[in-house]
Chain A
Amino acid sequence: MTHTLPDLIPNTELVLPPQAERKLSNGLTVIAIRRAAVPLVEVRLRIPFGRAPLGAATLLSQALFTGTGSMSMLDIAAELQAVGGGLGAGLDPDRLQISGNALADGLGRTLEILAGVLTDAAYPGEEVVTERERLVDNIQVALSQPAHLARVALLKRMFVDHPYAVQTPAAEEVRAVEPETLRELHADRVRPAGSILVLVGDIDPEQAIDVAEKMLGGWSGAAVDGGIPPTPALRPGALLLVDRPGSVQSSLRIALPALTRTDPDYAALSLANLLFGGYFSSRWVENIREDKGYTYGSHSVIEHFAAGSALVAAADVATEVTGPSLLETTYELGRIASLPPGEEELEQARRYALGTLRLGMSTQAGLAGLATVYAGFGLRLDFLREHSAALAAATGEQVAAAAAKHLAPSRAVTVVLGDAEKIEAQLAALTVVERSAR
């Protein structure tokens, strides 16, 4: 019997799940989506938080659930747990995001507890001090991680003095934050206006919104303007070398210009990114991992912030082949920016892009994540349909043009973190190297 590759059965049309949306009178937008496969509900709440003081905002995200006027930290955790629930908060440069889930029958109770936290958070002194010390310890651990250090250096190099340039507070900055500062920040910024609540799960969308309205309708107050100026254009220049003595690998990070999701050329750029380094079957992975064994993995991704988008490429490579890894990376960027992609290669990337959109919406958590991220940019799930159509329609010429414009090595901002003594000469043979001052 011969063994030949079976054909693919074409994808059925993209079906969006049943959903509802309502803007409450307090300014909170609620989006509810039904996916009933398991009796759970996913909860996401995004609150605009741009330009908030970094140390205080980061600590607020960690101390948000430490108590209210009527509940202790333990009460909050225990009562959420009792309905199979859990909530946590995180911060990015644009937003405070609360995320969690619960058994579907526990939706009302979960939102009731959440409302208590939003309207009546107490930031008790003892608990805040504990969270502050934990945060300081976590920052110290982060500063020992190569991935974090490389990210810090890259952000600084990309954004210079824009608010996005620093996304992790210094330990001293956190140590100086008092509980009262958190109460003030909460009063100013944790507000329903402009915030978005997304609920996904085994729910009736309209009824779920009714529950949200009942529980969160009393959350009130206007928010201050958290708008952030557009990100500056990347300024390519010398490769920035950050010394990490004794490092047994070099962390290579490259930023390139990108487009927002709604730009007419975005689908073409997405495909160009996949071809270069955006998935395992990309040229970059096939070259520096599967051909040369320089790295365990390399990956490039288009990152979107409220004030701008960028393409970031990352690989951790063996110290002794740091120069050769940069050489191959520059070669692959130059190749995709200069030559049109092959037809089969492009179709493969296109099918991957279309398929992973479906995979991403096949779970409650995946749908909640997509809907929440999109909503943060003023988009709704039907953007999936538009984006799919754009991916299906993008031509090889458009992909080549997007690559020429955005992926050219001359546009790259490059940072390498590693043992400078061992890698500086390797890198200097290929490009101008500047040592990080630290």
Chain B
Amino acid sequence: MASRIQIPATKYPVERFTLANGLRVVLAPDRSAPVVGVAVVYDVGIRSEPEGRTGFAHLFEHLMFQGSANLEKLAHFRHVQGAGGSFNGSTHLDYTDYFEVLPSGALERALFLEADRMRGPRLTEENLRNQVDVVKEEIRVNVLNRPYGGFPWLKLPSVMFETFPNAHDGYGSFEDLESATVADAQSFFDKYYACGNAVLSVAGDFDVAEATAMIERHFGDVPARPAPLLPAFDEPDLTAERRESYTDRIAPLPAVAAAYRVPDPIAAFDAYLPFSVLAEVLTDGDASRLVERLIQRDRSVTNVGGYLGFMGDEYQVRNPTALLLQAHMPPGGDAGKVLRTVDEELDRLVADGLQPGELERTQARMGARLLQGTDEVLGRALPMAVLELQRGRPELLNELPKLISEVTAEQIVTAAATLRPERRAVVEVLPGAGA
């Protein structure tokens, strides 16, 4: 066995300040490549959608690209790409993000574009109808026309949770999408897209003083609007296993996913973090416990994965959330048997603890993956923006490798002991495509 390797951490400098209008700003300069990443995150996501408007947070994300105070439709795309950059946005359970990566000479342009839509997107009937159509095609291509579409992230929440914010389908129903109005969009913008409810972050090749002046210049006169009160989304844990299944008419093979509630990712971060390492101990690579047992030894699954957060956003999610395990099975596979084996392996972990070196090598691999993520400017700008938004601690990104390396074997065992069958929600995919 190789001697224990040191897990290095990143040391990106992080500056934070708040503009007079309430917009929080995070700067992480690094001049190693002539590129910048710009991210704006708003503290609104799928969990804040009104009832009867499933999918609205995501639909609204699309509308934010359809022109703004000083820009025509299509202008945003053209200005970012015409500066040599790329852009996108994404909607999560607890936030919505917008981002660009560009050659560093285009920083001010990106700031202008983000400030302009923070002032106000062009919410027109024509743009709304167009983007409802586009979103329907997005759902078709990602969910309806594809085997295992939306499995498990769209399928498990309704089994695990009771309340509308946690349980509903974040992509939304066609019926809800089609009935959305411009007035709905305007009130959603007014309530949630306030500068007091947003964080701007910039990472990469820039001078802090110059960037600060640019940010003041472009965002300083966005009218101040306070953040809305954030509701608590918590609900009671399961006391008995919940299992559901559905037939996927185009899936050729069975699949199963299970979710277990984990501690509050923010208020109980110390208790939460070991679950992140546990998920890797169970499923990261050929040396992990569930891969070794379920794939190599039993051949009862074809592949298996484990992670925190329904969208895999383990450090960018609020309570309540879960540890998920998912597996695809060979023809005739038995989900019940797979789950019983998972229980056995968890029991074994709790009874016997970790093997020598098992924790250290898992931590080393996690450290390497964190480093790879932060090598990209957006791999810093985006998580730092969300860490500021949810915790006021963007520098946590630099600290994660060390914190992960400090998780102990005892903490892993304690975490594993909570993953009991009576606390889990399970969803099975029954193959409908004549396997």
A contact set with B: CB distance below 8 Å: 1, 3-6, 8-12, 15, 35-40, 65, 73-74, 76-86, 101-103, 105-106, 109, 127, 130, 133-134, 137-138, 140-141, 143-146, 246-249, 279-281, 286, 289-297, 316-318, 347-348, 351-352, 354-356, 358-359, 361-365
Contacts and interface: CB of A to CB of B under 8 A. Distances in A.
A133 B299 CA distance: 9
B287 A81 contact: yes
B53 interface: no
Sort A-B residue pairs by CB-CB distance and give the 8 closest, nearest first.
A355-B84, A293-B133, A9-B105, A84-B368, A77-B286, A348-B82, A77-B287, A362-B33
Chain A binding surface, main DSSP class: mixed
Given A5-B109, A11-B34, A146-B145, A362 B251 contact: no
B74 A248 contact: no
Given A5-B112, A362-B377, A83 B2 contact: yes
Contacts of B5: 82-84, 103, 105-106
A141 B252 contact: yes
Interface of B: 1-2, 5-8, 10, 30, 32-35, 69-70, 73-74, 77-79, 81-87, 101-106, 108-109, 111-112, 115-116, 129-138, 140-142, 144-148, 218, 221, 249-253, 284-287, 292, 295-296, 299, 302-303, 328, 330-331, 357, 360-362, 364-365, 367-368, 371-372, 374-377, 433, 435
B295 A134 contact: yes
5 contacts: A9-B106, A74-B292, A249-B144, A318-B137, A362-B34
Nearest to B357: A82
Contact of B374 (A9, A38, A249, A279): A38
Contact of A81 (B86, B140, B364): B364
Contacts of B10: 38
Given A316-B140, A358-B103, A3 B69 contact: yes
B284 to A, nearest CB: 7
Contact of B368 (A9, A35, A85, A356): A85
Given A78-B287, A293-B134, A354-B84, A286 B361 contact: no
B137 A8 contact: no
A145 B303 CA distance: 18
Given A130-B295, A351-B84, A5 B328 contact: no
Given A281-B74, A281-B78, A144 B137 contact: no
A79 B302 CA distance: 23
Contacts of A294: 133, 137
Nearest to B148: A141
Contacts of A281: 74, 77-78, 81-82
B365 A141 contact: no
Contacts of B285: 77, 80-81, 86
Given A82-B5, A86-B285, A137-B328, A248 B103 contact: no
Contact of A296 (B137, B251, B302): B137
Contacts of B142: 296
A295 B360 contact: no
Contacts of A359: 35, 84-86, 101-103
Nearest to B303: A134
Contacts of B367: 84, 103
A145 B82 contact: no
Given A105-B6, A249-B145, A292-B133, 20 more contacts: A3-B69, A3-B115, A35-B32, A40-B372, A84-B365, A85-B365, A101-B368, A103-B371, A137-B253, A141-B252, A246-B250, A281-B77, A317-B137, A318-B137, A348-B78, A352-B81, A358-B35, A359-B35, A359-B102, A362-B33
A291 B6 CA distance: 54
A86 B141 CA distance: 31
Given A37-B375, A86-B365, A296-B141, A352 B221 contact: no
